Structure 1
Amino acid sequence: MNTMVRPAVMSDLPRILELVHELAAYEKAADQVEATQADFESVLFPREGAPTAYAHVAVVDDEVVGIAVWFLTFSTWTGTNGIWLEDLFVDPAQRGTGLGRALLAALAHECVMRGLRRLEWCVLDWNTPSIEFYDSLGATPQDEWTTYRLSGDALTSLER
């Protein structure tokens, strides 16, 4: 079995979107995915300007079986950028093989090489297997913070 983690390339986009749909189903939100391949292309591989999001993929025998989709953040406290991991997903048949850890290690490497001070993400409270995995890596939950979101009508109402 030949495995590797690498930055995503344009030809990975159909599979990345498939894995996003699988993740949404796992998170009991399958009907909430609106993203298209064109959406991913415009942010990961824009025709003009720099990308606003990035992705790494885990590959087994030339098949993409895992993704880490991320973007840069900024901390006013540290004065430096960091990485926000938007989605991490490994095909259930490949879990336990070290690919999730390898994807996170690739992002940790990005942080170190770029001088970034943080790698952060959210996890659903009920997702015990993922929480146990993150704990095993030495990640620390930020329980004192509550994530808020404006979207839909609330977002457009505030904008007015």
Structure 2
Amino acid sequence: MRRDAYSYRHDATVPGFPDDKPIVVFDGECIFCSGWVRFLLGHDRQGQYRYLTAQSTLGRALYRHYGLDAESFESNILIEDGVARFKSDGSIRTLARLGLPWSLVSICRVLPSPLRDRIYDLVAKNRYRIAGRRQTCMVPTPEERGRFIA
């Protein structure tokens, strides 16, 4: 669902949060999704991103705000400059900001987004089968805590 930039600021159901940096909202119980965040933490040497679990009050509110299922979390959300991006577009943009060699994934934009998103959906629907599920959300290390939104 497309919305105006920073539309969540005018939604009374979305708690306020710092949005001066891009934010990756992810399924914190999904081992595959948590692995994605661990990858980003390891390669985002400039600390560009903040992270938020979908299971948090704010995470659920953002999923509902964008018309997504606030229980199944089948798409990560990248919020960058107040604009939310989903599925393959969000993942490609996230990697592109990391610089070389990760920014080379931008070449995938030549593929039509419906095709890219079908592949994304296939992985998302099977992510628990692929990697498993935790009983609790990912817990950042003490060094990583400052990069997470509670």
TM range (shorter): 0.3 to 0.5
Asked which structure has the greater RCO (Cα within 8 Å, sep 6+), the reply is 2
Q: Provide the TM-score with structure 1 as the length reference.
A: 0.31
Q: Provide the TM-score with structure 2 as the length reference.
A: 0.32
- Which is richer in strand? 1
